[in-house]
Amino acid sequence: MKPSQSATLGTESIGRLLIKQAVPASIGILVMSLNILVDTIFVGNWIGSIAIAAINVVLPVSFFIAALGMAIGIGGSSIISRALGAGHKERALKTFGNQITLTLLLTTAMVVFGLVFINDLIPAFGGKGDIFEPAKIYYRIVLYGVPLLALCMMGNNVIRAEGKPKFAMIAMIIPSVGNLVLDYIFINLMDLGMAGAAWATTISYGLCFLYVLWFFLSGKSELKISLPHFGLDLPILKEMSALGFVTLARQAVVSVTYLLMNNILFDIGGESSVASYGIIARMLMFALFPVLGVTQGFLPIAGYNYGAHQFTRVRESINKAIMYAGGLGLVIFAAIMIFPEQIVSVFTTDPDILSETPHYMRWVFAATPIIAIQLIGSAYFQAIGKAVPALLLTLTRQGFFFIPLIFILPHYFGELGVWISFPAADILSTIVTGYFLNREIRKTLK
């Protein structure tokens, strides 16, 4: 890629840049979310509702290991965006090489750990009773492909940091489409059950990895690294780790949340409540795709212009990102409020799940119109390299508010208290993030 192409992040109009960056990111997230959604539909209809619960149990473990790649990708990409904005090409190259080395070392170690303690981890994450055996089958196979997924997630963020959102979008689409095709073949045609669902997922990770590898080797990338760039550089590792830890901490809290939710819901309502959460969790991944796409598109724009000291453009990118994401959040909110019964019926025919889940889903999405402030606010601090406020604001929703609430509210409202915790945490975290973001804008972006 020519240097002038990444330089457009500092010259093109913010509105146009946000659309160019956010639309491919949104499409990529949409296809990935559809993959998870349709995968759940396939599993629920072709294997059974217990299979949905089993996959939901495994997700925290595989997501956390894959999140290592995402954390390294976002942490390093913040450095790369700012380095390219400041004209420091060699620093960007060294950062990319360190990202690859660190991702391989950490994810491989985590997979070994996950396999050794397989019989302890699955029950700890809610894989009890009838859920245990199908969860174990799925877990073991999927774990083999997680390092490839981590490399894909790391590479995807680097591609986006270079200002190549369309290639990043394709990298997200390939494994999703591959997984759906393989799901149909392995589960429906070959009747391989949970093993078929797991192999479809693992092979799709491999397809994504091959595409990302092709991108960086084919001349499409601006980052032409050589062997010396793979050697670990302590200052870069420190900055990348500090920024990446924000993402890792967020994903770790997500994994802990899954663990707690699965166990709390299992104790209150049994397997059906865990299955309801599995459906709602997938809708959270799916329905918020345009809001998350705007957030992803915002990161390289804010990072590049901050590195280039174009603070007026940074401030404009914050305002427009919140406006775009907030408007999309309002549309999502309306759709969920109007059609929850129809949405749930796509996943299962189980009468118990059909009767309760729509009501719970309305509560979970109740604060969707305001979450843009929290997402863009915490992303801003990560984009500009301020790790501590980024970490604290990222953890406000699930770490500081949601987890305490799911322990407190069920004592007063029973199972409903678990679902009320979602909008309560959204509102509280948005207030906190809005305050600190406004203070930062007034203080720094003059």
Digit-by-digit pLDDT tens for the chain (446 residues) are 344 456 677 778 888 888 888 888 777 777 766 666 677 777 777 787 788 778 777 777 777 777 778 788 888 888 888 888 788 888 888 998 999 999 889 888 888 888 898 888 888 877 778 888 888 888 889 888 888 888 888 888 888 878 788 898 888 888 888 888 998 899 888 988 889 988 998 999 899 999 999 998 887 888 888 888 888 888 888 888 887 787 777 777 877 887 888 888 888 877 788 888 888 887 887 788 888 889 888 988 888 888 888 888 989 999 999 999 999 999 999 999 999 888 888 877 778 788 888 989 999 999 999 999 999 998 898 888 887 888 888 888 888 999 999 999 998 898 899 999 999 999 999 999 999 999 988 888 77
Whose CA is closest to 425, among 346, 377, 366? 366
What is the predicted pLDDT for the residue at 118? 85
pTM over 0.95: no
- 208's CB contacts (< 8 A; 6+ apart) are 148, 149, 152, 171, 172, 174, 175, 178
Distance in angstroms (rounded) separating the CA atoms of residues 360 and 129? 24
What is the predicted pLDDT for the residue at 384? 84
Tell me the angle at which helices 14-46 and 311-338 cross, rounded to the nearest 10 degrees. Answer: 30
What is the predicted pLDDT for the residue at 13? 84
What is the predicted pLDDT for the residue at 371? 92
Distance in angstroms (rounded) separating the CA atoms of residues 85 and 301? 10
Secondary structure of residue 125 in the 3-state scheme: coil
Distance in angstroms (rounded) separating the CA atoms of residues 318 and 19? 14
Tell me the angle at which helices 340-347 and 14-46 cross, rounded to the nearest 10 degrees. Answer: 50
Q: Are 47 and 137 in contact (CB under 8 A)?
A: no
Angle at 416 between CA 411 and CA 421, to 5 degrees: 80
Give start and end residues of each alpha helix (H) in 270-339: 271-287, 289-307, 311-338
Distance in angstroms (rounded) separating the CA atoms of residues 419 and 416? 5
What is the predicted pLDDT for the residue at 419? 93
- 290's CB contacts (< 8 A; 6+ apart) are 22, 26, 30, 325, 328, 332
What is the predicted pLDDT for the residue at 33? 66
Distance in angstroms (rounded) separating the CA atoms of residues 398 and 378? 13
Distance in angstroms (rounded) separating the CA atoms of residues 233 and 236? 6
How many CA atoms does the CB half-sphere of 376 hold within 13 Å?
A: 33
What is the predicted pLDDT for the residue at 4? 43
